[in-house]
Amino acid sequence: MPPDRETNRLQKGRIVRNFGLSKAFGVGRGVKIFLNLQIGATRGAVLAPWHDRNSSKTLRTKDAEIYRLKNRIKTQRENLFRLQNELAATNELAKDTPGDPSALQALDVEVGTLPDYVIIGAMRCGTSRFYGLLTRHPHIKRAAAKELHYFDQPERFEKGLEWYRKCFPPPEWQDGHRTITGEATPMYLFHPRVPERMAQAVPEARLIVLLRNPVDRAYSQYHRSARNGLEDRSFQETVEEELASLAGAEPSGHGRSRDDSEESAYNQLARGIYVDQLVRWREFFGKEQMLVIKSEDFFKDAVGTLELTQDFLGLPRQQFELPARKTTRKPTYEYEPMDPALRQQLEAFFEPHNQRLYDYLGRDFGW
């Protein structure tokens, strides 16, 4: 390579790297300071004197604030991931682009990639643990966050596909296999507009669905909503209101749309009518593209479920060492068993829908 050209290339690389690293370090310092502040705020809420926490209303307020802070931290981490992703792609381009560094401004830098698989649901069915274990596979690379909410949240979908692409690391070759990547947003399964949007953006993606007994799923969703300060009614009240709504009666208030993707106890029963959701997805994706997993099977046999998933994704089987569950610490939260009469009422409600699901899949889940 001529000396002048080599000198230009080296200067250009140093300029781009210095600029990118300075920007990344600046954001990194900001995120670190932000995380420290938020951790301090959360700890303050947790360690507050008992007389400040003896009211359920005060507890809900504090839980809601912690929930908001966690979401802000998550957003900061996603932003940092995308910046680092873009910086890496720009530096790779700088290595091979001759001429003045300003010429980079006229070039398109392809950042990240699109997901090879998406875990689309269902909410409160074990998707977090499933995604965490699955991404231990050496040929699976994590996204910027487990839940990206690109297809269901308008403010993110409007950012465009390039924003979504930056949330995933580019593929690499390891031991003769191409790495894959994906995300897990359990809101996707229920949202009526997501299947078509996803089919247009990632038509070849593999879809994974975890389905849990809909009665247990609804109860879990209710308690998470209450814990995050998003619900102050009793479970009985939420069930009665939604049953009335599903029967065609007017809800008693709250003004939420039934296809709303917010995390609330509303739609806690509708989300458990799985067959209607799967039928809608099959309008846009072939049967061979979708793996449906019974959550209870995953809870009982995580290793066997992960082996099945690896085969579905075309990955070489990896022996997973499952992390031991901590038994010395008390659970972060606990709630009372469901009232037997209410459980019986919900089982009767879901029975015909579950039977339609079994007929559709050709498999009895035994709920």
**DSSP readout, 1-15?**
--HHHHHHHHHHHHH
Q: Could you give the CA distance from residue 103 to residue 231 in angstroms, rounded to a whole number?
A: 54
Which residue would you say has higher pLDDT here, 154 or 229? 154
Helices (H), the chain: 3-46, 56-96, 127-134, 154-157, 161-165, 194-201, 214-227, 235-246, 274-282, 295-300, 302-313, 340-361
First CA to last CA across the chain, in angstroms? Answer: 70
Among 148, 128, 131, 136, which Cα is nearest to 78's?
148
Which residue would you say has higher pLDDT here, 9 or 292? 292
* pLDDT tens string 192-227: 999 999 999 999 999 999 999 999 999 999 999 998
Task: Read off the pLDDT of each residue in 84-92 and give the average, rounded to a whole number.
Answer: 58
What proportion of the chain, given as a percentage, has pLDDT over 90?
55
pLDDT value at 9 more than 50: no
Highest averaged pLDDT of the listed ranges 15-29, 31-45, 184-198, 245-259 = 184-198
Look at residue 322 in the predicted model and tell me its pLDDT. 81
Q: How confident is the model at residue 149 (pLDDT cuts 50, 70, 90)?
A: very high
Look at residue 310 in the predicted model and tell me its pLDDT. 97
Q: Could you give the CA distance from residue 151 to residue 119 in angstroms, rounded to a whole number?
A: 13
Q: How confident is the model at residue 65 (pLDDT cuts 50, 70, 90)?
A: confident
Q: How confident is the model at residue 335 (pLDDT cuts 50, 70, 90)?
A: confident
Which residue would you say has higher pLDDT here, 188 or 95? 188
